[in-house]
Each structure stands twice: as structure tokens, then as C-alpha cells.
A = this chain, B = another copy of it.
Amino acid sequence: MPALEQSRPDERPLYVRVAGSFESQIQNRSLKPGDKLPSVRDLSRRLGISTATAVAAYGWLERHGAIHARPQSGHYVAARPPSVPEPRTETRTHPPASVSIGELVLEVQKTARDTRFAPFGEAVVSPELLPAARLNRSVRMVTAAFPQHATIYEAPAGNPRLRRQIARLAYRLSCTFSPEDVIVTSGAIEALNLAIRAVASPGDVVGVESPVCYEILQALESFGVKALAIPARPRLGPDLAELERAFRKHKIKCFLMSGSFQNPLGYLLPDPAKADIVALAGRLRLPIIEDDAFGDVAFSPQRPRPLKSFDRTGGVLYCATYSHVVAPGFHIGWIHPGRFRARVEALKGITTTATPSLPQLALAEFLESGAYERHLRKLNEVLFQSTRMLGAAVAEHFPEGTRTTLPDGGFFLWVQLPGNISGFKLYQAALGERIAIVPGMIFSPHKQFRDCVRLSCGWPWSDQAESAVRKMGQLAERLLRSKG
């Protein structure tokens, strides 16, 4: 039974701290595989915490594969504990930089999309996990119900039925908003592009997390907007003092971040941390562009709250998408632009005029039927399994000293290689074996994270996947030896 460390302030929720104490004990082998843990009632009495907190702590450990529950018996330390520590993250804020990652990103995207490669590259869910037949039923229904769909221009802000459904589902986000607050976009990327252009002009500086998904860096580069990289701290989020300094010193026009399953780190900020960021930004009148592309891929029953749910001043431009997890071919995202609504709607009209009707109508039908929530539950179960299997495979096959994240949502791991192995060299070597991965440096405007790679696993785990990870581990070993 670990004691809770109380000596230094810890901003994590209580249940995570409880779980973390157990995790340390497992890692330093004071708790061994097969050991039985105290009952929930016992734990709560001994630590003076509520039973709800005790249940949540065990839930967290289960989801992380550290323990497992046996019905009618109790909780036991798992056979294969998470033996791999987390990657180190940056702590320094770099000066603003013009972004120029273009060429390499295009190459990486090309190979990531190449179906002849083992798909650890692109952050895409395998079609076999998506509800093709149900979506086709939606298409047939709306084609019959709206026979004029093809001959009428859609409004720039989007189809009213779809906007109504998105607003109806706001309860999942612990938000309340009206259909008029929603602007439908061509995927998350258009939403982010519009948000950036609504608050920043060429030459301006924008704060981003570091690492950050390369699509955002591409967008900034294409508009001539500079990026100020503010370190992303797992489970703590950006340092607020650092953010305020960036605002005052570099006059950043907005801060672009994910609070839930950030791409590529995959961490989930606790609600109080989210509330604090939004409150600070509100005080500074600093707009936040929230990229919530993976918030729906949550491995806990409760979908996390976005930053938007803490927004009282309309300063959060919330960007989301249905492309990733349900219908890539429909290519529909959306934005709640807060107080920037007029500007974003005008930009949408100027850039692509409108989003096609038929995919919007079909998605509206799909959402209205309740099929979306049912689909998500099934999908997230599979993604949870394969993410955990990938984590275990990396722990087993990669060289000693490798560090990896083990996120509670999303479907990618951020892996830090030991001995300063180049992630780019591993990327190149893996290509030679027909395995696509993404080198870490393209997640940074400063080409940091040179010893990192991102591995995606948006598909059911398989023996081939296991072999591919083994192969990557061998390649990494070889790179490590060739340096020594």
C-alpha cells in the first residue's frame, strides 16, 4: 500500500495521484505481477479518500494495463506491467520562428497514405472499423427525402439539419449552444485554417504546443504566420506563466492547443487545468484555438470536457471533426468560433463557399438516429486494445531505454528512442521494410524531437502488427549499435 506523496504541490486529480502511487510501486517492483491489491473499501478507509476516488484510481490503472480485475475476487497487478517510462518533453519556450517543414511533411504524408506500407504512419482509422453500411443507409434515406439536394447551393455556414444535430450533441461536451453557433467545414483542417485566419495575419505570431501536429504547422507556414512553441507538459498542460509571458513579450495573437488526447502526445488534461487556461486566456483577451480532433476517442466511459466548456467570454474557437472516427469520405468538420463567428463565416464563404449538401444531410441522419454514440463505444474498445497492444509491443521489442506514452484516448503513441537515435533515420529504415511511421521532428517548428517517432494504430491488433513492431525494434537496435 503506497502512501500519497504530499510534499510538493501536484495538480493532478486525486484519483490519478492515487493511481500514480500504485504505478510507482509496480515499476520499482515493490508490487509484483499477480499481487492482490486492497479492496476498494479498504483503500478508501486507509487513505481517507471516497470510494468513488478509489474506484476511479483502480479504473485508471486498469485502463493503463497495470492491473486487472477478477470478478468476485478483486484487483491484481497485471502480468506485463507498463515497464516503459514516458518520453521526456521540452521545457524551454523557443523564440518565434517562421515555419518551414513543407517538403518533408509532404513526403511523410505520401508514404503514410501508401497502402503497401504497414500503417503506423497516418492517424487514420481503418475502414473496416467504420460503419460503411449504416452510412450508406443514411445516404439512401436522405437522397429519397431531399431529392433536390444536388441542385441547391448549401449555405456557407452549413446545412441547418446537421448544425441542429451538432448542437443537440453539445451535451456530450458539457456545453450548450445553438445551431447558429456552428459552422460546418471541410474537415478539421479547414476549421483550423479558418480559425487561424480569423485571429492572425501574415507576420503575426501564434502560440502552439510543442510538439504539435504537423498539419497545424503546415497551415501556419502557408499563411506566413510565425509559431511560438510553448512546451506541452503531459497532464499539466502549458505553463500558464510561460503563456502569459509569450502573450506580453511576443504579442501572440492566439494559443492553439488540444486539451484531450493531443496529437502527438495523447495526454488528457484534468478539468481544473483546462479551466485555468481558459480563465487566463479570458483575462488576457487571448483567443484559444482548440483542436479537439480526438476528444471522442476516449477510453473511459466519460467523454472528456473540452476547453470550450469552460469558456465564458467566447474566446475559444472550438474545432472538431467527424472525419477521423466515422466518415473520412464525407470529410465533415465543424467549428464553434465563439465571438469570431462573423469573421469565420465570411472566411468560409470566401474560401470554399460551402460544404457539399449530401454528406451533410447523411451525417445529420446518422447523428439523429443515435448510431454515432453506438459506433463510438465499439470503436473505442478496439482502439483501446490496439493502443495497449502497441505499447506492450514497443516495450518488448524496442531497445532498452526507449520511452513511450500510454494515452487514455486517441490512437497513437509518442516514442522516444534511447541513445539519441535519429527518429528520421528510423523512419527511413522502416520505409525500407515497408513500414510507415512519422519522424518526431515534423511536429516542431524548430525541428526538435529528433529522437522521437509517432506510431499510429487505428486498426485491430494483429500478428503482422506485432512482427512490424519487432522489425522496427531491430532496426532501432541496429541504429543504436552503429552509433556506439
Contacts and interface: CB of A to CB of B under 8 A. Distances in A.
Interface of A: 102, 106, 109, 113, 124, 127, 130-133, 135-136, 139-140, 143, 147-155, 186-187, 189-190, 193, 197, 201-203, 215, 218-219, 222, 224, 323, 327-332, 346-347, 349-359, 362
Q: How many copies, total? A: 2
Contacts of A201: 202, 224
A379 to B, nearest CB: 12
Given A143-B136, A329-B357, A358-B330, A127 B154 contact: no
A330 B346 contact: no
A13 to B, nearest CB: 35
Contacts of A224: 201-202
B153 A132 contact: no
A393 B84 CA distance: 80
For A133, A140, A150, A347, the residue with the greatest tally of chain B CB atoms inside 10 Å of its CB is: A150
| Chain A at the B interface: SS class | helix
A154 B154 CA distance: 21
Contact of A197 (B190, B222, B357): B222
A218 B343 CA distance: 13
B187 A353 contact: yes
Contact of A136 (B150, B187, B190): B150
Contacts of A347: 222
B186 A346 contact: no
12 contacts: A106-B346, A132-B147, A132-B151, A136-B147, A140-B140, A150-B330, A151-B327, A153-B331, A186-B353, A190-B352, A193-B351, A330-B358
Contacts of A329: 148-154, 356-358
Contacts of A135: 150-151
